[in-house]
Amino acid sequence: MINLINLEKTESTNTYAKALLKSGEPLRPFTVVFAREQTKGRGRLKRTWESKKGDSLCMSLILSDTANPSITLLSALGVHKALREFYPMLQIKWPNDIIADNKKLCGILTEGTESGTVVGIGINLNQTEFCDEISRKATSLKLLTSNTYSAKELCKKVAKSVFETIEAHKSQLTKEALEEYTSLCANLGKEVLWQDKKGIAQGISPDGSLIVKTQEGEEEIRFGEVFVNGIY
Ligand code: BT5
């Protein structure tokens, strides 16, 4: 089912996937770009994503949908489903992180183009240490389970789960998807800080925003970074 584009090395699987979409080349459904090594991995807001050959899973799914917040949230649900078999106590930090023991195991970067959307997924598999900048906030499947993982095998499993989740909900944040996301969301009930504001996260709105109760009233955060007290 999955059409895997298997690269030995690339700057960023998201950049590669976006170029493919822009080229207009006909793509088979369920196309995924996988790279054993990624040299310029990107996060949101021009941040970098650290990865290491053999230790990290770097992959990008190509969808014909236009980009919208539902795609990111559904992708997080799909990744969660694939990974919880190895470590059940996983949560989602709104909007795009899969976390375990309050540390980041996976990040998702959704990027739109005129002809479709790219969902980039970075998962820490076999690292036992990280660079100073992220050493306190990152974890890997190996640190959690003491097992070693094959990036390519896991890529197929994660891709299948994410494609199936998006299809099952027809690319929309359905009531069921929202309920599941809410039940897994680590932010809720906690103090969150964003820009120069703070409040208590109350829930996720049907458009995927984070609902936060502040002293001034209720606010909806549509995107951006929130810090969660006790997480990062
Ligand atoms: C993300 O951004 O979490 C999205 C990461 C997406 C990476 C994938 S890999 C395949 C595809 N190709 C790409 O070029 N990107 C995608 P954001 O929420 O902005 O988080 C970025 C922040 O996470 C950084 O500023 C660091 O603090 C932290 N970070 C970087 N590398 C990390 C890692 N390996 N594990 C945990 N945290 C990390």
pLDDT in tens, 20-44: 999 999 999 999 999 999 999 999 9
Does position 170 have pLDDT exceeding 90, yes or no?
yes
For ligand 1, atom 21, the nearest C-alpha belongs to 43
Does position 225 have pLDDT exceeding 90, yes or no?
no
The model's confidence at residue 1, banded by pLDDT at 50, 70 and 90, is confident
DSSP 66-128: PP-HHHHHHHHHHHHHHHTTT-S-EEEETTTEEEETTEEEEEEEEEEETTEEEEEEEEE-S-S
Q: Are 204 and 182 in contact (CB under 8 A)?
A: yes
Could you report the per-residue pLDDT of 84-94, keeping only the tens digit for each? 999 999 999 99
The mean pLDDT value for 74-101 works out to: 97
Q: Could you tell me the pTM of the whole model?
A: 0.97
The model's confidence at residue 45, banded by pLDDT at 50, 70 and 90, is confident
Structural domain boundaries in the chain: 3-184, 191-228
Burial class from Cβ neighbours inside 10 Å (0-12, 13-18, 19+) for residue 203 reads middle
Distance 232 CA to ligand 1 centre (A): 14
What pLDDT is attached to residue 200?
A: 97
Distance 107 CA to ligand 1 centre (A): 5
The residue among 54, 58, 61, 48 whose CA lies nearest residue 21 is 61
The CATH number given to 191-228 is 2.30.30.100
Q: Give CA separation, 76 vs 79, 89, 118, in Å.
A: 5, 15, 14
Ligand 1 environment, Cβ below 6 A: 12-14, 41-45, 47, 49-51, 58-60, 96-97, 104, 107-109, 120-122, 124, 134, 137-138
Provide the token pair at 167. Answer: 């299809």
The mean pLDDT value for 54-79 works out to: 95
CATH class of 3-184: alpha beta
